[in-house]
Amino acid sequence: MTALRKYQRLECGGLWRETPQDQRREVLVRFGDATLVLSDPKSGAAVSHWSLPAIERVNKGQEPAIFAPGTDAHESLELDDPDMIAALGTVHQAVQAATAKPGRLRGVLLAGSAAAVVLAAVLWLPGALVSHTASVVPPAQRADIGQRALDDLIRVTGEPCKDQLGLQALAALSERVFGPVDTPILYVMPEGVEQPLHLPGDVIILPRKLIEQANGPEAAAGAALVERLRMKAEDPIVPLLQYAGLRATFELLTTASLPDTALNGYGEAMLRATPVALPDAALLAAFEAAQIPATPYALAIDPDGKATADLATNDPYKGLAPSPLIPDDSWVALQGICGG
């Protein structure tokens, strides 16, 4: 969340529970760009990633402060560091302001820009309205809209796979691919997802088969890497607004609120959508920079090797023994993320 960059290097200790029945466990808490990263203080391995906009304090006015990664979450985090508590409070206020209580100044700015954009949209193309609206939606609201799109997708696929050891391994894989600061939230869906997807709010969705049918984490890591590139190539909120329509887009621009029904059916639309094509040169550069072999990903998404032949042929790590992306026991746990 770009408005909160002053907190990016903030770290503190905390006490984490996987479930209410578990013992509290010491963790290192690190404030990232869009996530809160919880890691083992001895090994440094990530044990959980929380989406910053979804975090809620569950004991307002009481000490020590206790947070959860969502309304229905089983995990909890106990904090007594005032700077970290203040940072999470700032995030919550930003989410509330962007999604439920748009400020007067923001309303004036939105209304003023809306008039100009509506005129442009009438005179030029509907795409002008979508493009401008996408450019002014703040990060907190993007995350909220992305969550709504995820909720619609869940109607089709079922809830994301939730095995706790698998989630820890998935968080560790995300951190290995993207680094500890700019780390997206990864989900694995139990059914219905045949190709990787992404959503506003830095959310990447992986097909179950990329994990359960693979010999290692490289294919899933490559899929996440490529989806992040697609996310940068085309703002993920643009196709979402195109689906929602001009009336819903105009309402978002003028009231900072997307109608409740605007995303009905968007989950099915995402599953049918054709992925944005990316140049092989850009893909290979990203794989090389992340030190991930490209061949496992290329073969996983195109077993015949026709569409991804150049990617596999020019793999910068072809023929080399790759360093493990995550430990073997983490890979085993990740393969069981959907419960076997």
Q: How far apart are CA 328 and CA 217, in angstroms?
A: 10
Domain map (residue ranges) of the chain: 6-99, 145-234+276-335
Q: Cβ of 13: how many Cβ atoms within 10 Å?
A: 14
Q: How far apart are CA 145 and CA 58, in angstroms?
A: 23
Tell whether domain 6-99 is in CATH 2.30.29.30: yes
Q: What is the chain's length? A: 340
pLDDT of residue 121: 47
Each residue's pLDDT tens digit, 177-231:
998 777 888 999 999 999 999 999 889 999 999 999 999 999 999 999 999 999 9
Residue 221: name the closest of 206, 233, 235, 236 by CA: 206
Report which secondary-structure segment, H or E, holds 37. Answer: strand 35-39
pLDDT of residue 115: 54
Euclidean distance between the first and final Cα of the chain, in Å?
A: 35
Q: How far apart are CA 270 and CA 259, in angstroms?
A: 19
CB contact burial 248-259 (16+ within 10 A = b; e otherwise): bbbbbbbebebe
CA dihedral sign, ordered 106, 110, 113, 115: negative
Cβ-Cβ contacts under 8 Å for 270 (sequence gap 6 or more): 149, 153, 197
Each residue's pLDDT tens digit, 26-74:
999 988 767 788 888 887 777 888 877 778 899 988 889 999 987 777 8
Residue 199: name the closest of 337, 54, 46 by CA: 54
* Residue type at 34 in one-letter notation: A
Cβ-Cβ contacts under 8 Å for 77 (sequence gap 6 or more): 14, 15, 16, 17, 27, 29, 38, 50, 66, 67, 68
Report which secondary-structure segment, H or E, holds 16. Answer: strand 11-17
Q: How far apart are CA 78 and CA 300, in angstroms?
A: 41
Q: How confident is the model at residue 244 (pLDDT cuts 50, 70, 90)?
A: very high
Q: What six digits make up the tokens of 292?
A: 């991930």
pLDDT of residue 123: 43
Q: How confident is the model at residue 131 (pLDDT cuts 50, 70, 90)?
A: confident
**Rounded to two decimals, what is the model's pTM?**
0.73
Q: Where are the alpha helices (DSSP H) in the chain?
A: 82-99, 104-123, 126-136, 139-157, 164-178, 209-212, 218-233, 237-244, 246-255, 266-272, 280-290, 295-301, 309-313, 328-335
Cα distances (angstroms) measured from residue 229 to each of 39, 78, 218, 306: 26, 35, 16, 21
The Cα angle at residue 293 between residues 338 and 275, in degrees rounded to 5: 65
Average pLDDT, the chain: 84
Q: How far apart are CA 4 and CA 31, in angstroms?
A: 10
CA dihedral sign, ordered 278, 284, 289, 293: positive
